[in-house]
């Protein structure tokens, strides 16, 4: 990534406060709070309320009927996605830990979603994604292994219909993505992902400053 130059505005305390306010703008109900609590107990990091609300908005804008999620967790992001999807939409969610998916099942039920609204597939994402249908998805949300982001991108381009969306959570890496100090492999891979999405001729991209950074792109026709 290029170095930040003087023309970029300094991040003031007021801007940080405004970002925090925006991230917490949408309140969460009991089902979401319980799913978030379970994630905390399991040592998992959930999407922030602002990130969840952005995903919900994007799913609704796309009138999404089929969404693929990499990284089920305890169901926080899944609830937000289901809230934005069509009433007959199905969320296909992939995670290597079946126990987490059981938590998510309970969370979806508590949030009022019928069991047929979600399809749970246990397994490593790069083993599961090749089995999903080409062009069969309106949105792909990636919240898995940061080292595999470029592989998720390649699979997403195959899975998405023209006009579909791909989103990547956590691309700021707690500020390390733009830090000039030496960084671990996962941060270097995030930089490669950001560059690949931004420079792709088939994607129209933006980077949303919610949570730990939400990279979103539309697949052109």
Segment 18-74, tens digit of pLDDT: 888 888 888 899 999 999 999 999 999 999 999 999 999 999 999 999 999 999 999
* Whether residue 9 has pLDDT greater than 70: no
Alpha-carbon distance of 163 to 217, in angstroms, equals: 9
CA 93 to chain centre: 12
Mean pLDDT score of the chain:
93
* Whether residue 10 has pLDDT greater than 70: no
Please count the other Cβ atoms lying within 10 Å of the Cβ belonging to residue 55. Answer: 29
pTM above 0.85, yes or no: yes
Alpha-carbon distance of 45 to 143, in angstroms, equals: 10
Torsional sign, CA 41, 90, 127, 129:
negative
* Whether residue 2 has pLDDT greater than 70: no
When pLDDT is cut at 50, 70 and 90, the band that residue 16 belongs to is: confident
Six token digits for residue 201: 């001729």
> Which residues touch 53 (CB under 8 Å, ≥6 apart)?
25, 26, 80, 210
Supply the pLDDT for residue 11. Answer: 63
Torsional sign, CA 186, 122, 212, 164:
positive
Q: What 8-state DSSP symbol labels residue 90?
A: E
Alpha-carbon distance of 5 to 117, in angstroms, equals: 47
Six token digits for residue 192: 């490669």
Alpha-carbon distance of 215 to 220, in angstroms, equals: 16
Alpha-carbon distance of 156 to 161, in angstroms, equals: 10
CA 177 to chain centre: 17
The H-or-E segment that residue 53 falls in is helix 49-61
Segment 65-89, tens digit of pLDDT: 999 999 999 999 999 999 999 999 9
């Amino acid at each position: 990534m290029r170095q930040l130059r003087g023309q970029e505005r300094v991040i003031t305390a007021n801007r940080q406060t405004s970002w925090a306010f925006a991230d917490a703008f949408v309140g969460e109900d009991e089902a979401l709070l319980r799913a978030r609590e379970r994630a905390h107990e399991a040592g998992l990091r959930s999407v922030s309320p602002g990130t969840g609300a952005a995903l919900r908005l994007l799913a609704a804008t796309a009138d999404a009927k089929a969404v693929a999620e990499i990284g089920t967790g305890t169901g926080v992001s899944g609830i937000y996605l289901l809230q934005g999807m069509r009433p007959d939409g199905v969320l296909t969610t992939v995670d290597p830990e079946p126990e987490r998916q059981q938590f998510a099942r309970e969370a979806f039920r508590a949030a009022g979603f019928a069991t047929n609204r979600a399809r749970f597939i246990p397994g490593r994402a790069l083993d599961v994604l090749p089995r999903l249908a080409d062009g069969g998805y309106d949105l792909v949300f990636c919240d898995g292994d940061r080292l595999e982001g470029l592989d998720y991108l390649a699979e997403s381009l195959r899975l998405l219909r023209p006009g579909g969306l791909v989103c990547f959570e956590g691309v700021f890496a707690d500020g390390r993505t733009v830090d000039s100090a030496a960084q671990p492999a996962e941060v270097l891979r995030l930089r490669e992902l950001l560059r690949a999405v931004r420079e792709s001729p088939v994607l129209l991209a933006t980077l949303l400053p919610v949570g730990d950074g939400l990279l979103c792109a539309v697949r052109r026709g």
